[in-house]
Amino acid sequence: MRIHHLILFSALLLFGCNSCSEKREITDEDVAAMQKDMIAESKKQHEREIKDIDKFIRKKGWPMEQTSTGLRYWIYEKGTGEKAENEDIAFISYKISLLDETPCYETSDDNPKRVVVGHDNVETGLHEALLLMHVGDRARFILPSHLAFGFTGDSGKIPQNASVVYDIKLLAAE
């Protein structure tokens, strides 16, 4: 939310009000300063998010690993099936919650979600997560906001800039 306020405030300062007697052009220096401020605020937001994720993992005592993108994962029940691959049609049951453990969404083994791995319009982190799984695996994933719903949230239960926790079972990958 803070980054949106910063952008709005910066725009108001740069564009001024209609009643101002003197209009001024926006210079390259103005744009560069605004970009620098936005990048600094984004880095602070990212650092806070990583600290919150680390704190959550410590509290839970989960032995999670991390990918190069920042996805955290723990495959806590090993399946015996094939590994999911790009373009597979995956059927998953899952529970999604926020780091404060607020439940958001849930499916079941009887009513799974269908995802075309690497192609469907779902969170980037979900595609990455599925590629780490074998059929029958149960795993927990923490998707930082940039791999989940980002600056906007989902206009429903997941707020903007929220990390989400997925508990997933990969039922099938065809």
pLDDT of residue 1: 46
- Topology of domain 65-173 in CATH is Chitinase A; domain 3 (3.10.50)
Tokens of 43: 């880095």
Residue type, 74: W
What contacts 24+ positions apart, CB below 8 Å, involve 28-33?
none
pLDDT of residue 29: 84
pLDDT of residue 128: 95
The answer to whether 92 touches 112, Cβ cutoff 8 Å, is: yes
pLDDT of residue 46: 83
Residue 124 burial by CB count (10 A; 0-12/13-18/19+): exposed, middle or buried? middle
Mean pLDDT by 10 residues, the chain (174 residues): 51 53 76 83 85 96 96 96 94 96 94 92 91 97 92 85 95 94
pTM assigned to the model:
0.79
